[in-house]
Copies of this chain bind each other. A is one copy, B any other.
Amino acid sequence: MRFALAEAKQAAAEGETPIGAALVIDNTVVASAHNMRETWQDPTAHAECILLRQAAVKLGRWRLPDATIYVTMEPCLMCAGALVLARIGRLVYGCRDERAGALGSVYDVVRDGKLNHVYRITPGVLESESRHLLQCFFEELRTSRTANRGMEKPGPKIHNPN
C-alpha cells in the first residue's frame, strides 16, 4: 500500500486527483500507477485501469488471479468492473468513496454475487493517509480557485472529479 500511496502523492504533484495503485504478485510489485485523466484527457485513465493494462502487457496475459491490487480509494464502477474482468484475486483499498464507490458505498458489485468472478476485498488499509491526501488536494484546489477569482465570491464546492 505504500507504493500506492507514493503514486497518489505523485498524482497530486502533477495536478491529478491523488489516487494511486499497485499490483503485487508473489510479494513483488509488478506495476504501479496513478490517475492520469487530466494529463491524458482520457476518461478511462483511473489508476486501477492503467495498472491493469501495464501489468497485463508486462506479464503477457489478461487473467490475473494471482494478483493483489492495492489502491488508495474504493474503486468506481468502471474500475471495480475492470478488476472483475481481469479475474484478480484480491483488492485492498484505503478510504471509501461515498459518492461513487462500487465496492460497498454506492454499489457492492463483487459481494452481490451477480457476476462471474469474485475477488476478496479488504477495505480501510492506510485509510486516514489515503483520505488526507485527497482532502488536502481539494482544499488546495478550492483555495487556488478562490484566489484566482480575486476573492470576489466564494468558490463552488468542488467534488472529487472521479
Contact = CB atoms under 8 A, between A and B. Distances in A.
Taking residues whose C-beta sits less than 8 angstroms from the other chain, chain A's interface range is 35 or more
A25 interface: no
Nearest to A99: B116
Number of copies: 2
Contact of A41 (B56, B79, B102, B106): B56
Given A64-B43, A78-B81, A82-B44, A107 B100 contact: no
Given A80-B77, A106-B115, A44 B37 contact: no
A87 B162 CA distance: 11
A15 to B, nearest CB: 14
B107 A44 contact: no
